[in-house]
Amino acid sequence: MIQGPPIPPGFDPNFFFTQAAPTVGLVAVILVGALGLRWLFGTVVGEALAERIRQGSRRRRHWKGFGGEWLDVPGETPAESGRVAALEEQVNLLHSQVSELAERLDFAERLLAERRERKLTEGPHGNL
């Protein structure tokens, strides 16, 4: 028998490791999961998920019938159509900006190619 420091009365280490530790671990996992979800819902991805859930709950659907499928019923609310129009305008603006940037990039690439070509034709020591 190994002798060590005396165990205080009322404390049973076997009880702690067999009964209380799994409960403490479960509480810690739940706490970390809750903090992770709170962080996720604070990000842009979380906002997109929340919007998708909101849109899904407002979507009207009806039963197709024999095939056992659901079909979306068309019909936007005025708020949704205004939002769609604003998003379309923003997409058009972004499209024009991207095409302008593509033109600038093409121009810069042509300038760099001309500079390289001039350096190659001149040789390493300039014109001889």
List the domain boundaries for the chain: 90-128
Decide if pLDDT at 54 tops 70: yes
Percent of the chain with pLDDT over 90: 31
Q: What is the pLDDT of residue 20?
A: 79
Instruction: Report pLDDT digits (tens) over 84-120.
Output: 889 999 999 999 999 999 999 999 999 999 999 988 8
**How far is residue 26 from each of residues 22, 33, 40, 48, measured CA to CA in Å?**
6, 10, 21, 30
Decide if pLDDT at 42 tops 90: no
**Residue 9 DSSP SS3:** coil
Which of 31-40, 58-67, 77-86, 93-102 holds the top average pLDDT?
A: 93-102
- 61 versus 101: the higher-pLDDT residue is 101
Percent of the chain with pLDDT over 70: 74
